[in-house]
Amino acid sequence: MRIFRSVRAASRIVIASAFHMEGKHEDSLKAIADLAKSDRERLDRTSRYAIDSIEAANLVLAARDLARAAKLLEDIREIYEPPEDILLYAHAKHGLGDERAATKLLERAGDKRMGGRMLLGRVVLLENAKQRNVIFHTLRGLLLIKLGRSDEAMKDFTLAAAIPTPGWYSDRARALLPPKGGDFDPRSSLAPTVTGIDGDT
């Protein structure tokens, strides 16, 4: 089956997605890099969206090459632009020094994630509503922290942590919530988020 480009792309998407959701952002990037350049250039729109969005998310969360992450998100938004991608773009713009753009993008993303969607192509992409909500609220909370709005961020982390979905995003949201009965101290619990979102930093 590996002779078919769509099969090779689908396998890379699945592997990269799994690594990404586990917080193994470098492994996820490597899985994408293993897809031959010739294959990547000839992908259908749905597959290209999946590959480029995963790469952009990994780069943002690893705080690496934010200019490339922003360019990828700009290029694929004509295919599909869920609110999580808007938040990732806001993170990239903030990291590149444009706080005003990040704030505007935060407003455009909104404060709620509505439903899920299916993208049809040679590779079919199905959105898990619960998982997307966790990603949305975790990314939103992380961005609010960067913008100095910690109290608002805690509301998003609480929403993300309450959804029973395993993975890096829900773990990160729970880790950033203050202990019950304790005070939130961004100096201690958010230092990795300020310097780099990757859980390994």
CB 167 within 8 A of CB 175: no
Average confidence (pLDDT) over 100-104: 98
What are the domain boundaries of the chain? 5-195
Token pair, residue 142, equals: 């992380």
Q: Judge whether residue 110 has pLDDT over 60.
A: yes
Task: Please determine, for residue 20, whether its predicted confidence score (pLDDT) is greater than 70.
Answer: yes
Question: Regarding the domain with residue range 5-195, which homologous superfamily does it belong to in the CATH classification?
Answer: Tetratricopeptide repeat domain (1.25.40.10)
Mean pLDDT of 12-24: 92
In DSSP terms, which residues pair with 126 in a beta bridge?
A: 118
> Rounded mean pLDDT of 22-29?
95
Task: Return the closest-CA partner of residue 29 out of 17, 39, 47.
Answer: 17
Q: Which residue has the tokens 């869920």?
A: 82
Residue keyed to tokens 């439903």: 115
| Cβ proximity of 47 and 124 under 8 Å | no
Determine the pLDDT at residue 127: 63
Q: Which of 12-21, 118-127, 129-138, 157-166 has the lowest mean pLDDT?
A: 118-127
pLDDT at 3 over 60: no
> Could you report the per-residue pLDDT of 42-86, keeping only the tens digit for each?
778 888 888 999 999 999 999 999 999 999 999 999 988 999 999
More confident residue, 159 or 39: 159
Q: What is the CA radius of gyration of the chain?
A: 17
Alpha carbon dihedral 39, 41, 42, 48, in 10-degree steps, equals 100
Q: Which pLDDT does position 155 carry in this prediction?
A: 97
Q: Residue range 120-146: average pLDDT? A: 82
Percent of the chain with pLDDT over 90: 57
Q: Give the helix ranges, DSSP H, for the chain.
A: 5-21, 25-33, 37-41, 45-61, 66-76, 83-95, 99-109, 129-146, 150-161, 168-176, 186-189, 191-195
Is the pLDDT assigned to residue 178 strictly greater than 80? yes
Which pTM value belongs to this model? 0.82
72-106 exposure pattern, b = at least 16 Cβ within 10 A, e = fewer: bbeebeeebbbbbbbbbbbbbbbbeeeeebbbebb
Residue 113 has what pLDDT? 86
**Among 123, 18, 112, 139, CA closest to 80:** 123
Least confident of 32-41, 63-72, 84-93, 187-196: 187-196
Average pLDDT, the chain: 83
Q: What per-residue confidence (pLDDT) applies to 75?
A: 94
